[in-house]
């Protein structure tokens, strides 16, 4: 059973399920972030691929979430980040690294959603759009900043990262601070090799 470290003191925790990225993949993404002329880059330690955002959950629900995730069986698979995109996230626009089409990734996300729903965990289901957020843009950008951004994005649209093996996924706690979110791994869930 995966190691799990939960805090007894919190009444609610903001949690999500994600795939942690290997160090070399993070380095490639940081190099990509450096090519962006505007925006607040996501700190290297926070780069991840979200599988399911569960939002604020009671401490008692965290144990149910952990139990549901512990029972998921899925194979190890390879993943590759390819291309750059942007979309609106609430009131902000984000720049992200896209993910090459991967049936195993889609299957894992579906297993996670189904398992959590069957366990009675309540969370808002969003359309799964696999990506790794690289930067959040300011609410207001000048015409010059916007043009510069579009030119830079056009130059890096052909981005292709090195493929990597996904052998586990994680349950994270996210704590919001004035300086950004702090992410802590609560539990790690191994996928099945062979």
Q: Is residue 9 included in any domain, yes or no?
A: no
Q: pLDDT tens digits, residue range 157-186?
A: 678 999 999 999 999 999 988 888 899 999
Q: Is 7 among the domain residues?
A: no
Tokens representing 133? 């957020």
Cβ atoms within 10 Å, residue 185:
15
Write the CATH number for 99.
Answer: 3.90.1140.10
**What is the total count of domains within the chain?**
1
pLDDT per position as a tens digit, 43-68: 999 999 999 999 999 988 999 999 99
Q: Give me the pLDDT at residue 79, please.
A: 97
CA distance 193 to 132: 24
Residue 3 lies in a domain: no
With respect to residue 116, please indicate whether it lies within any of the assigned structural domains.
Answer: yes
* Domain contains 2: no
Domain boundaries, position 140: 14-190
Instruction: Report if residue 28 sits inside a domain.
Output: yes
Q: Could you report the per-residue pLDDT of 84-134, keeping only the tens digit for each? A: 888 766 556 888 999 999 999 999 999 999 999 999 999 988 889 999 999
């Amino acid at each position: 059973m995966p190691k799990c470290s939960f805090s007894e003191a919190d009444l609610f925790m903001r949690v999500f399920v994600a795939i942690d990225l290997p160090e070399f993949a993070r380095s490639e993404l940081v190099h990509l972030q450096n090519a962006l002329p505007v925006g607040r880059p996501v700190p290297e330690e926070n780069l991840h691929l979200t599988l399911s955002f569960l939002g604020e959950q009671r401490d008692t629900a965290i144990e149910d979430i952990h139990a549901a995730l512990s029972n998921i069986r899925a194979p190890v698979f390879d993943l590759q980040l390819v291309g750059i995109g942007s979309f609106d996230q609430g009131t902000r626009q984000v720049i992200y690294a896209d993910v090459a089409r991967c049936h195993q990734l889609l299957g894992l996300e579906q297993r996670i959603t189904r398992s959590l729903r069957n366990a009675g965990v309540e969370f808002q289901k969003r359309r799964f759009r696999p990506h790794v957020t690289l930067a959040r843009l300011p609410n207001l950008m000048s015409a010059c900043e916007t043009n510069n951004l579009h030119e830079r994005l056009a130059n890096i649209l052909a981005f292709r990262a090195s493929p990597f093996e996904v052998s586990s996924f994680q349950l994270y706690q996210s704590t919001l601070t004035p300086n950004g979110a702090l992410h802590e791994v609560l539990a790690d869930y191994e996928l099945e090799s062979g």
